[in-house]
Amino acid sequence: MEKGMLNSYLKPISIETTIGTKGLRKKIIQKGVSWQTPIPGDEIEVHYSVSLQEGGYFDSSRERGATFRFKLGQCEVIKGWDEGISTMRKGERAIFTIPPELGYGETGCPPMIPPNSTLIFDVELVSWCPIRDISGDGGIVKKITREGEGWPTPNEEDEVLVKYVAKDDNGFVVSESSDEGLEFSLASGHLCPAMSKAVKTMRKGEKAEVSVKLSYGLKKCGESDGTNHHHQSLIINLELVSWKTVVDVKGDKKILKKITKKGEAFDRPNQGSLAKVIFIGKLEDGTIVERRGSEEAPFEYVCGEEQVHEGLDKAVATMKKGEEAIVKISSDVLNSASSVLYEVKLIDFIKDKPFWEMDAKERISSSESKKRDGNVLFKAGKFHLASNKYEKECDQ
């Protein structure tokens, strides 16, 4: 390749811009394919060619037939690369003019690079693997090997389905999931504390390599096969297949709703709504203690009027039409020896028409209805519920 070829054979598609305050310049010659750019710690893969500003080309990864890899912002390359490549998008190609201060400085890199040399780099950002220090102290480091879908990530109470292989320092497999994957609660955890911490940062379908040091890998591995070893560090190849959202209904972890099928739209029942449901209540040993409704004849009740257990009522109030869920009500709430699991489906619900949308005749009719309902509740000794009815009557 002739001298100065890097300056002549590639035509810029943008004007030259300056990066920072130390003279680093950039011309884009091929646009990237996304809006994301790498950040310090990410594992970068590039092709490059380089020449002296006043001399000839002397090195090229393309001619060697192999990309160059390094970690951004970790002092593995010259400062001009760290600063310049952090502005690039995947697939982007650019010409960087790197001054001596951001290159090899006053000493150069003999014999190829003289002292105080300005360098011209043609760099293509082939790809990068995002690397995240999850724990903030290097104890749990996640390298994303396949990006996930969308933006949501699991929450603390959610139940996740993962596939994984965990190996120790010597490459020995200490634990792995089946081909179908493993389901567990993030709150309870699995294998070691780092597993839950890593999964909570992942998106559906994401794959990652998670490096775990001693302080986050103390939970014993291999208990199931009798080996019962402690491992000072682990490498976990992890895939988040999916998860089921778990809602802490009251915020005290005593009523938990696990969504097994998402509902429609955004609206939910409120106090006074007529809910149409199907549910089965079971003890922890599987004994059925209550069964109401069917697809052909759903069970109908008015929300907030103690027609079903209060815990179940509060859970249904968080559901959308068509939603299916498993609601766990703790023994503390039930004042019993066992928790109860309700398998619930909200078929439909009807809300009261807002009073501001009613005409005069409808308001009178609604007030009379609430008064009658209040009287019934009062006679039944449900004074608080009766008071609510009377207050709604007065509001109208």
The residues assigned a catalytic role are 48, 58-59, 78, 104, 121
What whole-number distance in Å separates Cα of residue 362 and Cα of residue 289?
41
The whole-angstrom separation of Cα 266 and Cα 253 is 24
Distance from CA of residue 274 to its chain's centroid? 35
Rounded CA gap, 185 and 192, in Å?
Answer: 13
Nearest Cα neighbor of 341 from 294, 293, 306, 290 is 290
CA distance 396 to 393: 5
Q: Hey, what are 155's tokens?
A: 């929450």
- Bridge partner list, 300: 276
Residue with tokens 């920072």: 20
Strands 246-248 and 159-167: unpaired
Q: What is the phi/psi pair of residue 298, to 5°? A: -60, 150
Backbone phi, then psi, for 155, in 5-degree steps? -100, 170
